[in-house]
């Protein structure tokens, strides 16, 4: 049964400019520079350089609303009902809003390329070489081979059409484990340490370290040194020598490879904000040293005005050209506006954070940090909480005390015994200081840490201490014990 029905619906849609701004807010300075370079390459109507007053006025005349039309130029009047431009007839399944993952290029040799290069030096058959390359492809970035030989035997038949046996695969894995760096190809930490110890020159401490890893690995991982000493009949001096041998080993051999120069350079932190302190007068600025000024190409502006001024007797190709130029100019203008709005939003938000945490930025001591959540800054700036979250994500600020992630200044609150609200950051600082100063042969337990905090005026339960300790990436007392 067919039925007609009227329905009222309220729906919010983001304009292209708003989408641009949202995306821009999330990216840090380094990614913004790359994004601008990419846009400059893709859009010929966008170029580097500041806009002159005349160009700004001309662009205001050409500006469009979010719907895509203005009074000066209506694309529809250029077209008859049966006169459709070529670009509308071409299939295009991509959008400017699509997320593109660029394949990173390698400046140096990657870890896996380094392993494959060593295979080229081995005297092996073509079948063995294929198997070796397959196994290396299954080694993860930390250097571990976490797949079983049986599983790889089954998979390589389907993936590469190479038939092999479990025995041959075990032999291939043993060959991979002979490659550098030592420990590569191990299936777990115990195997990784043993592979590295086996390459060391034999001596009493090395031989004892092999026995420890082979026979008492569980006790070693739990730091039950008393059991190890009794089982291996070693004194304190030998235990220290053995532990020195083991702690010099690399638990993640793949991470030791530094051939990929690009990957290392990408870890460099470039601050998004710079804070200057002039005798207590704090000034926040954006780090725009490598961000170029942008403008809409004057050539494209003139081209559009020429096209739009000659509406009579224009061919279909000319109409297509008008639409193409208009589209590129609009895209350039949206991009420039998005950059400007990004800069303004970032600066406004960071100024609010600095004003909120002014004492910290003057003194540089964590104890001066106030409890602060996203809503506090959202209320001060009149921005949405999601906007504050995007601004604080992956952004850094340079201060006279060092470079800090913006997220560092957000923390929960708790009440001390005087009824004052304090930041959990202050409590974590005390925990960190206590653990740093502890006797490593007798580490402080969570119960003791809770008692220490109580004497300082912070009534915190043991389980809360454990939570804060875990957030600081500090292991339990038993795992911090040293001989």
Q: Could you tell me if 349 and 463 lie in one domain?
A: yes
Q: Report the predicted TM-score, pTM, of the whole model to 2 decimal places.
A: 0.50
Say if 59 falls within a structural domain: yes
213 and 142: one domain? no
pLDDT-wise least confident of 41-50, 278-287, 296-305: 296-305
Q: CA–CA separation, 120 vs 178, rounded Å?
A: 14
Task: Judge if 282 and 306 occupy the same domain.
Answer: no
Mean pLDDT of all residues in 79-104: 41
CB half-sphere exposure, 63, CA atoms < 13 A:
15
Whether residue 459 is found in the same domain as residue 368: yes
Tell me the two tokens of residue 267: 């870890």
**pLDDT at position 159, please?**
73
Q: What is the mean pLDDT of the chain?
A: 78
How does strand 402-405 pair with strand 396-399? antiparallel
Phi (first) and psi of residue 473, to 5 degrees: 60, 40
**In terms of residue numbers, what domain contains 159?**
111-176
Position 297 in a domain = yes
Pair 72, 61: CB distance under 8 Å? yes
Where do we find the tokens 């235990």? 239
Question: Which residues have C-beta within 8 Å of that of residue 347, sequence separation ≥ 6?
Answer: 284, 285, 286
Instruction: Tell me whether residue 60 is exposed, middle or buried, using C-beta atoms within 10 angstroms of its C-beta: 0 to 12, 13 to 18, 19 or more.
Output: exposed
* Of the candidates 208, 261, 252, 248, the residue with the CA atom closest to the CA atom of residue 232: 208
DSSP at 283 = E
Q: Indicate whether 219 and 245 sit together in one domain.
A: yes
Based on the domain organization, do 429 and 311 belong to the same domain?
no
Please report whether residue 106 resides in a domain: no
pLDDT at 339 over 70: yes
User: Quick one: 277 and 426 in the same domain?
Assistant: yes
Instruction: In whole angstroms, give the CA distance from residue 394 to residue 416.
Output: 32
Whether 268 is in a domain gets the answer: no
Per the structure, how many domains does the chain have? 4
Q: How does strand 273-278 pair with strand 396-399?
A: parallel
461, burial (CB in 10 Å: exposed 0-12, middle 13-18, buried 19+): exposed
pLDDT tens per residue across span 192-232: 999 999 988 889 989 999 999 999 998 888 888 889 888 89
Residue that is written with structure tokens 């961000």 in the block: 291
Query: Within this chain, do residues 195 and 330 fall inside the same structural domain, yes or no?
Result: no
- Same domain flag for 407 and 376: yes
Residue 380 lies in a domain: yes
Residues 35 and 140 in one domain: no
Same domain membership, residue 346 and residue 333: no
**What is the rounded average pLDDT of the residues 245-250?**
87
Average pLDDT, stretch 421-450?
85
Whether residues 284 and 409 share a domain: the answer is yes
> What pLDDT score does 417 carry?
66
Q: Whose structure tokens read 């849609």? A: 13
Q: Are 156 and 138 in contact (CB under 8 A)?
A: no
User: Could you report how far apart the first and last alpha carbons of the chain are, in Å?
Assistant: 83
């Amino acid at each position: 049964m067919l039925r007609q029905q009227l329905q009222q619906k309220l729906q919010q849609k983001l304009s292209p400019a708003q989408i641009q701004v949202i995306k821009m807010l999330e990216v840090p300075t380094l990614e913004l520079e790359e994004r601008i370079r990419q846009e400059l390459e893709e859009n010929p109507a966008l170029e580097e350089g500041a806009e002159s007053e005349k160009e700004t006025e001309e662009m205001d005349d050409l500006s469009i609303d979010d719907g895509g039309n203005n009074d000066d130029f209506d694309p529809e009047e250029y077209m008859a009902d049966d006169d459709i431009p070529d670009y509308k007839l071409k299939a295009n399944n991509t959008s400017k809003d699509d997320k593109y993952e660029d394949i990173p290029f390698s400046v140096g040799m990657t870890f896996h390329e380094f392993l494959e290069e060593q295979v080229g030096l081995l005297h092996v058959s073509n079948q063995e070489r294929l198997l070796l390359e397959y196994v290396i492809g299954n080694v993860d970035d930390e250097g571990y081979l976490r797949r079983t030989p049986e599983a790889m035997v089954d998979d390589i038949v389907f993936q590469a059409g190479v038939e092999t046996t479990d025995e041959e695969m075990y032999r291939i894995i043993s060959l991979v484990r002979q490659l550098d760096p030592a420990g590569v190809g191990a299936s777990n930490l115990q195997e990784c340490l043993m592979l590295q110890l086996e390459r060391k020159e034999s001596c009493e401490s090395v031989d004892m370290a092999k026995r420890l890893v082979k026979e008492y690995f569980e006790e070693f991982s739990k730091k039950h040194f008393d059991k190890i000493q009794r089982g291996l009949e070693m004194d304190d001096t030998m235990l220290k020598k053995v532990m020195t041998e083991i702690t010099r080993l690399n638990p993640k051999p793949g991470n030791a490879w530094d051939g990929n120069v690009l990957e290392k350079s990408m870890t460099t932190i470039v601050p998004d904000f710079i804070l200057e302190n002039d005798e207590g007068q704090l000034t926040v600025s954006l780090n725009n040293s490598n961000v170029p000024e942008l403008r809409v190409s004057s050539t494209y502006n003139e081209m559009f005005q020429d096209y739009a001024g000659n509406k009579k007797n224009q061919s279909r190709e000319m109409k297509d050209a008008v639409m193409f130029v208009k589209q590129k100019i609009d895209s350039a203008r949206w991009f420039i506006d998005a950059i400007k709005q990004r800069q303004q939003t970032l600066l406004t938000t960071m100024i609010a954070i600095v004003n909120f945490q002014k004492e910290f930025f003057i003194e540089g001591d964590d104890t001066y940090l106030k409890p602060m959540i996203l809503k506090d800054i959202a209320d001060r700036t009149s921005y949405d909480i999601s906007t504050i979250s995007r601004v604080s994500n992956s952004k850094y600020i340079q201060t006279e005390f060092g470079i800090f992630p913006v997220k560092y200044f957000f923390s929960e609150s708790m009440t001390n015994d005087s009824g004052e609200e304090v930041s959990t950051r202050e409590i974590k600082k005390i925990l960190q200081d206590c653990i740093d100063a502890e006797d490593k042969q007798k580490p402080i337990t969570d119960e003791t840490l809770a008692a220490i905090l109580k004497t300082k005026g912070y009534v915190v339960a043991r389980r809360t201490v454990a939570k804060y300790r875990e957030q600081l990436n500090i292991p339990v007392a038993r795992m911090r014990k040293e001989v």
